[in-house]
């Protein structure tokens, strides 16, 4: 026979089971607050890209428009909108030195990833630019400080492998693979 008495749970057991969840929520909130407090140099925007090879002439609005034109016309992505641009680093010397890179803020991470995939179309465009004496345009991910540190720690292995004629490729801008095997920084497991 089935009992019809209601089952009562202990109030104390319900409180105990929610404490770890509440602690996790507080920990996540503290991490979020710390991330918000960090200056932009220490956090990589997933919806931003770094563009190189754009001349140092013009106002920021003109630079933004030229990057928008490259994305719309050369990469054939008219639906992507550039929200803002900012030159990185200090002013170059007036002797026609290499122009500073540009941090390009986009609408979303999906747009940034789509542009990175479409950046292969820049090959023919850059061939024409080189013929005109201009620098090639490059588009890369905006790497965080940790990713840049990782990349610089495996850079000597990259140079050595290239000198030996081995097949090298970068994945996500900072992970190095030589002949299909990932190269880890010395001292890591």
Q: How many CA atoms lie within 13 A of 142 on its CB side?
A: 24
**Stretch among 1-15, 51-65, 118-132, 137-151 having the lowest mean pLDDT:** 1-15
Q: How many CB atoms lie within 10 A of CB 43?
A: 13
pLDDT at residue 45 greater than cutoff 70: no
Q: Please, are residues 100 and 87 in contact by the beta-carbon 8 Å criterion?
A: yes
Burial 3-38 (b: 16+ CB within 10 A, else e): eeeeeeeeeeeeeeeeeeeeeeeeeeeeeeeeeeee
151-160 contacts, C-beta under 8 A, 24 or more apart: 151/176, 153/185, 153/186, 154/183, 154/184, 154/185, 157/183, 158/183
Q: Please, are residues 68 and 82 in contact by the beta-carbon 8 Å criterion?
A: yes
Between CA 75 and CA 107 the distance in angstroms is: 16
State how beta strands 48-52 and 82-87 pair: unpaired
Between CA 52 and CA 102 the distance in angstroms is: 6
Count the residues in the chain. 189
Residue 155 vs residue 21, higher pLDDT = 155
Look over the chain and give the mean of its residue pLDDT values, rounded to a whole number.
79
**pLDDT given at position 156:** 92
Catalogue all structural domains in the chain, each as residue range(s) with its CATH number: 43-141 (3.30.70.1820), 145-183 (no CATH)
**pLDDT given at position 43:** 46
**pLDDT given at position 78:** 87
């Amino acid at each position: 026979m089935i009992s019809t008495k209601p089952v009562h749970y202990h109030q104390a057991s319900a409180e105990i089971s929610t404490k770890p969840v509440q602690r996790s929520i507080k920990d996540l909130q503290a991490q979020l607050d710390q991330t918000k407090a960090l200056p932009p140099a220490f956090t990589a925007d997933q919806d931003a890209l770094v563009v190189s090879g754009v001349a140092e002439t013009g106002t920021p609005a003109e630079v933004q428009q030229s990057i928008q034109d490259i994305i719309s016309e050369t990469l054939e992505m008219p639906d992507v909108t550039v929200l803002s641009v900012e030159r990185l680093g200090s002013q170059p010397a007036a002797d026609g030195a290499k122009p500073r890179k540009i941090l390009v803020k986009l609408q979303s991470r999906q747009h940034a990833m789509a542009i990175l995939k479409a950046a292969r179309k820049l090959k023919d465009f850059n061939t024409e630019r080189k013929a005109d004496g201009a620098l090639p345009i490059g588009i890369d991910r905006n790497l965080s400080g940790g990713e840049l540190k990782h990349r610089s720690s495996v850079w000597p292995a990259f140079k050595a492998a290239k000198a030996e004629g081995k097949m090298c490729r970068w994945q996500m801008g900072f992970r190095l693979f030589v002949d299909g095997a990932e190269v880890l920084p010395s001292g890591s497991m």
